[in-house]
A = this chain, B = another copy of it.
Amino acid sequence: MIILDEVEQKIANSIKALKEAAGSHSPSIFTLEEELPDLDVRVDACFLSNPYATDLFLKYLKKELVDTGKLRDVLEFYPSQNDVIASAISAAINVEKDKIFVGNGAIEVIQAVMHNFVENKVVVNIPTFSSYYEFVKPDTEVLFYPLQKDNDYMLDPDDYIAFVKDENPDSVVIINPNNPNGGYLKHSQLRKILEQLRQVKNIIIDESFIHFAFESEAMKLESATEFTKEFSNVIVIKSMSKDFGIAGIRAGYGVMSNLKVSELLGNGYLWNSSGLSEYFFRLYSKKEFLSDYEDVRKKYIVEAHEFFALLSDIPEIKVYPSMANFALIELLDGSSSEDFVSKMLIKYGVYTRTGSDKIGLDGEFVRIASRTKSENEIIIKAIQNIFN
C-alpha cells in the first residue's frame, strides 16, 4: 500500500488545496509548477491529447504561417463567420454546411446546446465529464444514469433504452468513448439506441475521443455524424483538442439539424472562432494534411494500446477497457487514489488525475493518459516502483 512520508504529505496537502480551487477540473501543469516550484513534472498524464498530432500541426503552422509572415494576418484581422468555417468542416466530414455549428472549443457547443435546446429533464450517464450536468439551466432536472461497475462502466444499450423510455427526458447525453473510463459503444449499438429513442428531442453524442476508437484492424474512424442525416434529434459534439493536440487554439464543432444551427446563429456567435482556429479548420479540409494526420493518429492508437497492455500486467491495479487515449485504473491494494496521485507526482514527476471527485465511481480510481512512447515507459516504471 502506498504511504506518503511527512514531506510528501505536506506537498500532497498543497496539491489537494490547488485541486479544490480548480473545481471539477485538474489544476493545470503551469499552475502546479508556479505554486509548487519544487515539483519536477516530467510527464503530464492528465493531459488527454495526441502529442504527435501537435508536432504535425506545428510543422504546417511553421511552414505556412510563421515562415511566410502570414501569421500577422491571422492575428490582426477578424476571422470569418461561422458559415464560412462550416464550409471548410463540411468538406472534411461530408455533412452539409448548414448543419454545422462552429464553436470556440467543444465546450462552447456544449454550453450552447445545454442552454438553448435542453429543456426540463436531461439524462446524463455517470461517471462523466462534469460540464454536462454543471452547465444546465437552473430549471432543468439532471437525472443520472449510473454505469455499472460490474459491467466495467460500459453502457448496456438495452438497459439504457428501458431507463430512458421510463423516465421520458427531453434530452440525453452519451459520450462515446466515455470520459473517464474510455467505454465505447459500437456503431451498431448506437444505431439501436437511436432507433429506439426517436421520441427524445435531443440525443447529444459527444465524440471528443472518437478518433482514438476503432472497430476493425484498419482502425477506420466510425463517427456518429452520419446519423444526423437519418435522425434529426441527434446532436454530435466534437472537440479537436484531443485528437489534433491543439487545446490552446479552442476549436470544436457541433453537427445538428439546420434549424438548430440557425437558431443559435440567429442571435449570437459572431466571430466566435479565432484566426488560428479558422486556419486549423482550413487545414482540416485539406487532403495532404488529413493524410499526414492519419499516420500520427494510427501510430498514437497503437502505442496507447501497447501502454494499456503494460498497465494490465501490474497486479496491484485493474485497467478498465478503453477505446480512448486514456485508461481508468482502479487501485486494488487498499491505497487511496489521492496518495497514488501525490506519490507519482512528487517522487516520479508523473502527473495523473484522481477519480475521487468523479460522481459515479465506486472505489479508488485514477485516470492516466497515454503520451509518447518514451513518456509511457516512464509512467509504467513509476507505477511499478510505487507498488514495490
Contacts and interface: CB of A to CB of B under 8 A. Distances in A.
Interface string A28-65: 11110000000000000001010100100110010000
A80 B276 contact: no
Contacts of A135: 267-268
A241 B105 CA distance: 20
A248 B74 contact: yes
A58 B271 CA distance: 21
Contact of A30 (B29, B77, B247): B77
A137 interface: yes
A269 B115 CA distance: 12
B134 A77 contact: no
Contacts of A275: 247-249
A76 B105 contact: no
Nearest to A74: B248
Interface string A239-253: 001000111111000
Chain copies in complex: 2
A177 interface: no
A272 interface: yes
Nearest to A267: B135
Given A137-B267, A249-B275, A274-B250, A54 B80 contact: no
A115 to B, nearest CB: 7
A266 to B, nearest CB: 9
A269 B78 contact: no
Contact of A136 (B77, B136, B267): B267
B75 A58 contact: yes
Contacts of A134: 267
A1 interface: no
Nearest to A21: B83
Contacts of A73: 248
A78 B61 CA distance: 18
A196 to B, nearest CB: 30
Given A47-B77, A78-B248, A80-B28, A272 B72 contact: no
Interface of A: 22, 25, 28-31, 47, 49, 51, 54, 57-58, 61, 66, 71-81, 84, 104-105, 107-108, 111, 114-115, 131, 134-138, 241, 245-250, 267-277
